[in-house]
Amino acid sequence: MNNIVLVGFMGVGKSTVGKALAKRLSYEFYDSDDKIQQIAGMDITEIFKTHGEKYFRRLEYEVITAKIGQRNVVISTGGGAVMNEQLYNLLLSKAIVIHLEASLEILYHRLSNSSNRPMLDHHDLKKRIDELYELRHPIYMKAHHNVKIDGKDLNSIVEEILSIVK
Ligand code: S3P
């Protein structure tokens, strides 16, 4: 089976689901945000503040492309990774790409106390989420599979993904 890549909006649970999924498959789990922070030696907020978003996106591209050629990996991507068309096309051609989809209501709720997410550093959080969602949702929908997460627990989400990929 190919590698599995999880995409989707901030707060949908890509890391939590990815970790549990990797465990079930006995795959390596790889979180692009964790790797970026490790390489940069600072958290995401600091990276944006010190080096800017462009630098973060470059690292994001590098850490994901470095991993995609390896075998038996579940990769959780940051919510903005798919906005790099070249990177997204590469993922679509090399892996099984799963979009974790949440309703806006769930996202407002989950992101209301979000920290370490500079993309949401905005005076009107709801408006910011709306804007990003409108821009990104059609892109996420290009994934190979779409898994809705509203009202589902971690185990059922993982089972649903397993039934898709196996
Ligand atoms: C981002 C999402 C974050 C992280 C960075 C930028 C985005 O990851 O990569 O803050 O542009 O949507 P999560 O989706 O895990 O929050």
pLDDT tens digits, 16-66: 999 999 999 999 999 999 999 999 999 999 999 999 999 999 999 999 999
Residue 153: phi, psi to the nearest 5?
Answer: -85, 170
Contacts of 103 (CB under 8 A, 6+ apart): 150
- Whether the CB of 79 sits within 6 Å of ligand 1: yes
DSSP, collapsed to helix, strand or coil, labels residue 133 as helix
Q: pTM for the whole thing?
A: 0.98
- Whether the CB of 10 sits within 6 Å of ligand 1: yes
How much distance in Å is there from the Cα of 10 to the middle of ligand 1? 6
Q: Given a cut of 90, is residue 1 above it in pLDDT?
A: no
- Whether the CB of 33 sits within 6 Å of ligand 1: yes
Closest ligand 1 atom number to CA of residue 117? 10
